[in-house]
């Protein structure tokens, strides 16, 4: 057996924490000397301690951990809990990474300051109507790559080769907070079977202010500053009747996938009634 100081050194858990776990009946010593009060542990108790620490790292409270240990939860049930908790932590990490990216993009916009000319070339063009297969969701930008893969799978099932770039149509959503009302679409040569999730529709013709840049669909881009400045300086207004679009064409650069992105903002001439 090991004295508490030895067990602490072996497990790299402070003796104070081990005494606290003893009080909570999370990890009782294998033997306690009634005269001296010294606590002694066995090497087998390291497994139980590691289980406690794993539960703790995954966010369970000490009370929850004690209940789990006392209920003698099976390894299969523990693995299931770990997977659920892991998914929760991954979502949290993804959310915080998205927040960090937004902060960095907005910091870049702030550092550019006012009065600076747009750094991207803006073009005005007429976009023709186009038939697409699409699915619409209220979600986050982080889900867009997965939605691209999902719609590709459906097109493959429908016998339509996916050769055209992916599109994202940004719909307004007054009630949305952190989520975004978007439509992932892919141009198709002919109509394919609709389902509860997918539908064939025609995106309308529109006049757009267009900017081509490098970006990733799951991350925000700073080109809105350039678009907004250009629209104001050139006597246009944003057409509220038509949602904006982005077209993503994947490319390989230095072994990494990047996206050549065309951002299309629908516009009308200032003073023209909608």
**In the chain, where are the structural domains located?**
2-73, 74-116, 123-269
The CATH code belonging to domain 2-73 is: 1.10.1660.10
Position with higher pLDDT, 92 vs 149: 149
Q: Which residues share a beta bridge with 168?
A: 184, 246
Q: What is the pLDDT of residue 83?
A: 83
Percentage above 70 pLDDT, the chain = 89
Q: pTM above the 0.75 mark?
A: no
Contact 189, 160 (CB under 8 A): yes
Sheet of 39-41, strand order: 2-3, 39-41, 31-32
Q: What is the pLDDT of residue 187?
A: 93
Contact 171, 136 (CB under 8 A): yes
Give the pair of three-digit tokens for residue 148: 């691209």
CA atoms within 13 A on the CB side of 157: 11
Contact 178, 92 (CB under 8 A): no
Classify strands 199-203 and 39-41 as parallel, antiparallel or unpaired.
Answer: unpaired
Q: What is the pLDDT of residue 70?
A: 77
pLDDT single digits (tens) 70-121? 777 777 877 787 788 788 888 788 777 777 766 776 666 566 555 454 567 8
Q: Which residues share a beta bridge with 187?
A: 132
Q: Which of 103-107, 109-113, 199-203, 257-261 has the lowest mean pLDDT?
A: 109-113
Residue 265 and residue 127: Cα distance in Å, rounded? Answer: 11
Mean pLDDT computed over 49-56: 86
Measured CA to CA in angstroms, residue 165 lies from 36, 68, 168, 198, 201 at distances of 75, 50, 10, 17, 17
Mean pLDDT computed over 233-254: 89
Mean pLDDT computed over 147-172: 89
Q: Mean pLDDT, the chain, as a whole number? A: 84
Closest CA to 225 of 97, 104, 116, 101: 116
3-state secondary structure at position 83: helix
Q: What is the pLDDT of residue 207?
A: 95
Position with higher pLDDT, 99 vs 273: 99
The CATH code belonging to domain 123-269 is: 3.20.80.10
**Helices assigned H by DSSP within 12-143:** 15-23, 45-57, 62-70, 75-112
Same fold, 2-73 and 123-269: no
Q: Which residues share a beta bridge with 244?
A: 170
pLDDT at 263 exceeding the cut of 80: yes
pLDDT at 15 exceeding the cut of 70: yes
Residue 244 and residue 84: Cα distance in Å, rounded? Answer: 36
Q: Which helix (H) or strand (E) holds 183?
A: strand 180-187
pLDDT at 208 exceeding the cut of 90: yes
Using left for φ > 0, alpha for ψ between -120 and 50, and beta otherwise, residue 159 falls in left
Give the pair of three-digit tokens for residue 7: 């067990």
pLDDT single digits (tens) 163-194? 779 999 998 766 666 678 899 999 999 999 88
């Amino acid at each position: 057996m090991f004295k508490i100081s030895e067990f602490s050194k072996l497990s790299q858990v402070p003796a104070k924490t081990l005494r606290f776990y003893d009080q909570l009946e999370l990890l009782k010593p294998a033997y306690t000397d009634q005269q001296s009060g010294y606590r002694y542990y066995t090497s087998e108790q390291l497994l139980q301690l590691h289980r406690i620490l794993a539960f703790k790292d995954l966010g369970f409270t000490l009370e929850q951990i004690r209940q789990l240990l006392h209920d003698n939860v099976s390894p299969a049930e523990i693995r299931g809990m770990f997977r659920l908790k892991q998914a929760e932590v991954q979502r949290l990490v993804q959310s915080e990474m998205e927040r960090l990216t937004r902060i960095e993009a907005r910091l870049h916009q702030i550092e550019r300051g006012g009065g600076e000319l747009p750094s991207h070339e803006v073009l005005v063009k007429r976009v023709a109507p186009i038939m697409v297969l699409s699915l619409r969701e209220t979600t986050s930008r982080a889900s867009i790559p997965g939605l691209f893969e999902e719609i590709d799978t459906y097109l493959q099932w429908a016998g339509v080769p996916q050769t055209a770039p992916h599109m994202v149509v940004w719909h307004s959503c007054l009630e949305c907070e952190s989520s975004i009302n978007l439509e992932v679409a892919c141009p198709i040569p002919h109509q394919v079977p609709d389902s509860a999730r997918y539908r064939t529709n025609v995106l309308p013709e529109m006049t757009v202010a267009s900017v081509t840049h490098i970006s990733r669909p799951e991350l925000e881009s700073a080109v809105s500053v350039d678009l907004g400045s250009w629209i104001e300086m050139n006597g246009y207004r944003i057409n509220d009747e038509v949602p904006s679009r982005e077209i993503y064409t994947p490319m390989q650069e230095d072994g990494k996938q990047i996206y050549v992105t065309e951002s299309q903002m629908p516009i009308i001439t200032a003073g023209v009634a909608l």
